[in-house]
Amino acid sequence: MIPGLIIFIILSAAVCTACLLRSGWERKQLRTEHYRAGFVPGDPGMPGIAGQSVKIAFLSDLHDYCSVNGSGGILKALEQEEPAMILLGGDMFTCMKHQGWTADTGPSLELIRELARRWAVVYAEGNHESRLRDRQPAVFDEYDKALDQSGVICLRNSSVVLNGIAIHGITMEEDYYRRMTPGFGRKKPMPQDYILKKLGMPVRGRFNILMMHSPMYLEEAAAWGADLVLSGHFHGGTIRLPLPGSPGLMTPQFQFLVKECSGIHTSKDGHTEMIVSRGIGTHSVDIRLNDLPEISLIEISVK
């Protein structure tokens, strides 16, 4: 009995050590995932995009990646792809209670400045930007000023048209990110007119991208009229089984086995697609298993 227990303990320790080593390796990696999105427009005249394709890069949940690994890998990967623009989906730094609601914005600013020198950059907020603005407004104002000086287009419940594409960024209240017990995909209900009140109507005759940090509200975005939703927030589910299409084990909101942790999803009516990035960095639970950091390259085409 005792020798068997000792063998079990040794094997368990070996497995845990191997997983931690693998996780440490994964956190330093970067994978470019390629997606295609498009639709058949009802309006035959699609100004600025009809008959064309536009390649965009989407980065989300940078968190600690640049402070650990530097920004060189991200820049090199993007230069190889030559996107028309860069979309930032929020959580470009970490702002947590156990850190006194402070944030080291320096590494993210360094990367964003380099991005803005090369490409048009559009930035929508995640929950960590909202936390910093609400709890450390002076620090956030300095960060926001630096973004503006770099030429970054910041979307806070606002929109911009670039390359013929209408891009919308919504800033959601913190309640929409709270943990929901027991946590199997539960979420705070969103009022039917919530997105409409914040953004107004989608832009007619354009391909409408909605950057919405949480991926839990695809159907609400589809009802509003988004053609493509770009989300992150769930870090790919932290740990993923090595099976195609498997859900992530756990989100940062302690939701379990949620299918919208990564990849491409389609609304029930089939008219809206959502791409969920696995994100690039981590925070608090610094683990990635079968969950490589992701840069999303999206080719948008109109047939």
Question: Hey, where are the domains in the chain?
Answer: 2-302
First to last CA, the chain: 67
CB 189 within 8 A of CB 147: no
Q: Count Cβ atoms below 10 Å from residue 178 Cβ, excluding itself.
A: 11
d(CA 229, CA 208): 9
Q: Which residues pair with 251 in a beta bridge?
A: none
Place of tokens 């940062």: 252
Q: Given pLDDT bands bounded at 50, 70 and 90, which one contains residue 46?
A: very low
- Which pLDDT value is given to residue 185? 59
Radius of gyration of the chain (CA): 20
The one-letter amino acid at 245: G
**CA nearest neighbour of 58 among 174, 225, 206, 211:** 211
CB 231 within 8 A of CB 253: no
The one-letter amino acid at 254: F
d(CA 170, CA 198): 7
CB 237 within 8 A of CB 192: no
**CA nearest neighbour of 147 among 123, 120, 118:** 123
CA distances from 201 to 36, 179, 196, 198, 221 (A): 25, 30, 6, 9, 12
pLDDT digit string, tens, across residues 198-236:
999 999 989 999 999 999 999 999 999 999 999 999 888
The one-letter amino acid at 5: L
- Which pLDDT value is given to residue 221? 97
pLDDT digit string, tens, across residues 66-106:
888 888 889 999 999 999 999 999 999 988 877 777 888 89
CATH, range 2-302: 3.60.21.10
Residue 41 has pLDDT above 50, yes or no: no
Q: Given pLDDT bands bounded at 50, 70 and 90, which one contains residue 45?
A: very low
**CA nearest neighbour of 26 among 230, 240, 231:** 240
Looking at per-residue pLDDT, the higher value among 51 and 276 belongs to 276
